[in-house]
């Protein structure tokens, strides 16, 4: 498997090694998870107003993260539609991204009144319009408004790798304001995106 190659292989133009990407994601998650648990009142119990604000912020962060991964999924669909001959590489990576969207879209247990009252703010739809309860398992046959894709398969893979890195960076940046449970999920997804970027970069070279 490609992932079993030398740990010091470089990942695209960023020069990030696979080992560095995974270790950095883990270390960042560990440090930020500790920071995330240090807030609140002196006795560790939030007031009702503070709890409601925290719940709203968590839902907004989850929607934004789901939207980032959903946009990446759209890019996979666009590349697959134009370069079906690369399906062997892209299909399993797309499936993983679809799972990321689903995991980020599903709402965790939220005791806030807004979540239990069916408020629009508690929608599980993410930032893609509130209709992503079911993530398509296969690329859509119609790609109206799809992202532009290079006609050259190598360039298309490089562009997709860059999109994976951007998504990884976005999820990593969100860790600082995420609650522990969501931060763990974001760290895991960000690490997966970094590995995907490596695999796509290697695929573009072969």
The pLDDT value recorded for residue 87 is: 96
The pLDDT value recorded for residue 136 is: 59
The pLDDT value recorded for residue 106 is: 64
* Whole-model pTM over 0.75: no
Q: Phi-psi category of 132—alpha, beta or left, where left has phi over 0 and alpha has psi -120 to 50? A: alpha
The pLDDT value recorded for residue 50 is: 85
What is the SS3 assignment for the chain? CHHHCCCCCEEHHHCEEHHHHHHHHHHHHHHHHHHHCCCCCCCCCCCHHHHHHHHHHHHHHHHHHHHHHHHHHHHHHHHHHHCHHHHHHHHHHHHHHHHHHHHHHCCCCCCCHHHHCCCHHHCCCHHHCCCCCCCCCCCCCCCCCCCCCCCCHHHHHHHHHHHHHHHHHHHHHHHHHCCHHHHHHHHHHHHHHHHHHHHHHHHHHC
The pLDDT value recorded for residue 155 is: 96
C-alpha triplet 171, 189, 78: angle, nearest 5°: 85
Residue (of 39, 103, 35) closest to 69 by Cα position = 103
pLDDT tens per residue across all 206 residues of the chain:
333 333 334 334 444 444 454 454 444 444 433 433 344 444 557 788 888 888 899 899 999 999 999 999 999 999 999 999 999 999 999 999 999 999 999 654 444 444 433 333 433 333 343 444 455 566 654 455 778 999 999 999 999 999 999 999 999 999 999 999 999 999 999 999 999 999 999 988 87
What burial letters (b/e) apply to 104-138, b meaning 16+ CB within 10 Å? bbeeeeeebeebeeeeeebbbbbbbeeebeebeee
The pLDDT value recorded for residue 109 is: 45
């Amino acid at each position: 498997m490609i992932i079993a190659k030398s740990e010091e292989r470089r990942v695209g133009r960023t020069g990030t090694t696979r080992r560095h990407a995974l270790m950095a994601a883990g270390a960042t998650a560990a440090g930020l998870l500790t920071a995330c648990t240090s807030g609140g009142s002196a006795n560790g119990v939030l007031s009702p107003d503070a709890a409601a604000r925290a719940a709203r912020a968590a839902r907004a962060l989850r929607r934004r993260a789901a939207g980032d991964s959903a946009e990446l999924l759209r890019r996979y669909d666009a590349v697959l539609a134009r370069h079906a001959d690369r399906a062997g590489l892209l299909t399993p990576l797309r499936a993983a991204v679809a799972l990321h969207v689903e995991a980020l879209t599903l709402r965790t247990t939220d005791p806030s009144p807004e979540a239990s009252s069916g408020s629009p703010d508690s929608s599980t739809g993410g930032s893609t319009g509130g209709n992503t309860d079911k993530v398509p398992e296969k690329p859509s046959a119609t790609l109206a408004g799809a992202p532009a894709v290079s006609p050259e398969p190598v360039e298309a893979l490089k562009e997709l790798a860059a999109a994976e890195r951007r998504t990884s960076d976005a999820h990593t940046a969100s860790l600082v304001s995420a609650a522990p449970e969501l931060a763990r999920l974001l760290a895991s997804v960000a690490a997966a995106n970094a590995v995907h970027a490596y695999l796509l970069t290697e695929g573009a070279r072969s």
